[in-house]
Amino acid sequence: MKLRRSEEPLPERAVALILVLCVSGMRAETARYSVPEEAERGSFVANIAKDLGLTGEELLARQARLVPEGEKQYLELNQHTGDLVVREQMDREELCGQSEPCL
């Protein structure tokens, strides 16, 4: 039995394999946390690095950031420690209006 040789050069196949391996190692994570409306500025919410199984250095290297849905940035992430804290006190009526439940 004869094996067929691919007409594609080896370097291009190697580059494609490396690219697939690199991309498969990347992932996006979504996390949701509850924050009481009364939480004051600087209140601790969670340690994102711990929840994602990363170190603070890894968060910094990956350029972790928070992406708000609205205009205001209510939470702040310390990329060195992974701590998520309240940046600005939240107002339920401002965020949700009269909708129930407010999530």
Is residue 78 in some structural domain? yes
What tens digit of pLDDT does each residue of 6-37 get? Answer: 554 445 555 555 555 544 455 565 667 888 87
pTM tops 0.85: no
Alpha-helical regions (H) of the chain:
10-25, 48-52, 56-61, 92-96
| Domain extent for 45 | 39-90
Is residue 32 in some structural domain? no
Q: Which one has a higher pLDDT value, 16 or 38?
A: 38
Is residue 74 in some structural domain? yes
Residue 58 sits in a domain of what CATH number? 2.60.40.60
Is residue 22 in some structural domain? no
CA distance 21 to 30: 22
78 Cβ contact partners less than 8 Å away, ≥ 6 residues apart: 56, 84, 85
What domain count does the chain have? 1
Is residue 52 in some structural domain? yes
**Number of neighbouring beta carbons within 10 Å of residue 95:** 15
CA distance 45 to 37: 12
